Chains A and B, each alone.
Chain A
């Protein structure tokens, strides 16, 4: 792969992960709000929505869990971005040192750069190895966010069943179930995109 383009795609991939995660965070907050609304409706519905009440708590827990996970992943993504910057600098330095070696041919102190070249190459390799480790860790963390998203879809299905017994509150509770289902789908899709971007980076490495 062309080196400068590779570096660019790396920066773009890592930055796009941050953008996708920010969207996941917004959706998780929406779920939390939906859970609060559902709780209020279920409270008003009383006996008719008895089965719905524990579901609202569960939805809320899932939203909280997602927010916490995304916060951790965001910190990790930031670290990965810094590593991308470091690696870019090392790569740039190695490339510049190669130019110096050509231009300095015959200069009395040309070989004095050898140690710095060796060190920069070692740092670059170490940086790449660290990058790979962190990409894999991030992939695992993203898999972790998929779990609450999948659980939310199951809960949404259960919510629809419970909503069907809620009489005049049927529509409101069904809307809640719909909103949770949609949100879970959005989270799933966004996280999947993050995983794909990271997987491509891993292959390119």
Chain B
């Protein structure tokens, strides 16, 4: 599992992905942690297949008892089907996930972990000194969907928005935006159902001060590429299957 530190201030953001041992028939995913002095939040912890390499990687940065929080942007299996295993591993943790999906996500097994349902209008996760804003991203692509914005690190974890489908082992950061566009087009046109939802999200996100946009698949956007992505996404027609 490749580990890349994407923010290093009074706390850290670390991206995990590009697992070399991942089976080729499951989609590659990016997992993120926010590591503060005493706590650790895992953003979109991943599928059940990924649990062992993911936990093993996190143990380089935090002990089990300090992994206090999980966040699931939505209900998909590549996001959180590992929940039942985290439930056995973490002695006292909370799962922050859409309230709308609670009854569904509990099918994965959630007895020890406390399910903290996120209301439709979002909220805040306070992780030691880091105040993380939960940004609504409904219908992008899931009907109850959220992203995480860290105003101090200026990072937006954007879930499936900004995702790209590409070869295993691709670079972590976008290095040529124009070349990257074709790797994102189909994903956004086919998985994202609503132009209205897309516009609502863009309006919301344009108001944020973002240095890094970190999606759950593909590459991370930095600096001006974030604005380029928003402009490109704005002009893209989504929901093309009907």
Chain A residues near B (Cβ < 8 Å)? 89-90, 92-93, 96-97, 99-100, 103-104, 107-110, 112-113, 115-116, 119-120, 123
Nearest chain B residue, comparing its CB with the CB of A124? B88
Is there an interface contact between A116 and B90, defined as CB atoms closer than 8 Å? yes
- Chain B interface helix/strand/loop/mixed: helix
- In the complex, A99 Cα to B52 Cα: how many Å? 6
Q: Which residue of B lies closest to A123 (CB)?
A: B88
CB of B76 to closest CB in A, whole Å: 20
Q: Which of B57, B60, B89 contacts A108 (CB under 8 A)?
A: B60
The answer, yes or no, to whether B109 is at the interface (CB within 8 Å) is: yes
Known A107-B60, A113-B64, A115-B91; contact A93-B84, beta-carbon cutoff 8 A: yes
Asked if B37 is at the interface (CB within 8 A of a chain A CB), the reply is no
Q: A40 → chain B, closest Cβ, in Å?
A: 49
B65 contacts which chain A residues (CB < 8 A)? 112, 115
A113 touches B89 (CB 8 A): yes
Residues of A within 8 A of B62 (CB): 109
Give the complex CA separation of A92 and B82 in angstroms.
11
B90 CB to nearest A CB, Å: 7
Assess whether A104 is in contact with B56, with CB atoms less than 8 Å apart.
yes
B64 contacts A89, CB within 8 Å? no
From DSSP, what is the main secondary structure of chain A's interface residues? helix
Question: B51 in the interface, Cβ–Cβ < 8 Å?
Answer: yes
A107 and B56 contact, CB distance less than 8 A: yes
| 0/1 string, B49-65, CB within 8 A of A gives 1 | 00111011101111111
Known: A89-B84, A89-B109, A96-B85. A112 touches B63 (CB 8 A): yes
| A89-B56 contact given A112-B63, A112-B65, CB 8 Å threshold | no
B residues within 8 A CB of A103?
52-53, 56-57
How many residues of chain B get a CB closer than 8 Å to chain A's CBs? Answer: 20
* In the bound complex, CA of A120 to CA of B85 (Å): 10
Give the A-binding residues of B (Cβ under 8 A): 51-53, 55-57, 59-65, 84-85, 88-91, 109
CA distance A96 to B46 in the complex (A): 14
**Contact (Cβ within 8 A) B84 A97:** no
Cβ-closest chain B residue relative to A85? B109
Q: Which 9 A-B pairs have the closest CB atoms?
A: A112-B63, A103-B56, A93-B88, A99-B52, A104-B56, A109-B63, A107-B59, A112-B64, A109-B59
How far apart sit A99 and B85, CA to CA, in the bound complex (Å)? 12
Interfacial chain A residues near B60, Cβ < 8 Å: 104, 107-109
- The reply to whether B59 and A116 contact each other, CB–CB distance below 8 Å, is no
The answer to whether A108 and B91 touch across the interface, beta carbons within 8 angstroms, is no
| Shortest Cβ distance from B63 into A: residue | A112
Task: Beyond the given A96-B52, A116-B88, please list 5 additional residue pairs across the A-B interface where CB-CB is below 8 A.
Answer: A92-B84, A93-B85, A116-B90, A116-B91, A120-B88
Q: Which residue of B lies closest to A110 (CB)?
A: B59
Q: Which residues of B contact A115 (CB under 8 A)?
A: 64-65, 91
Contacts of A109 in B (CB 8 A): 59-64
The winner among B59, B60, B63, B64 for most chain A CB atoms within 10 A is B59
Minimum distance in angstroms from B111 CB to a CB of chain A: 9
Q: A103 to B55, alpha carbons, bound, how many Å?
A: 9
How far does the alpha carbon of A101 sit from the alpha carbon of B109 in the complex, in Å? Answer: 22
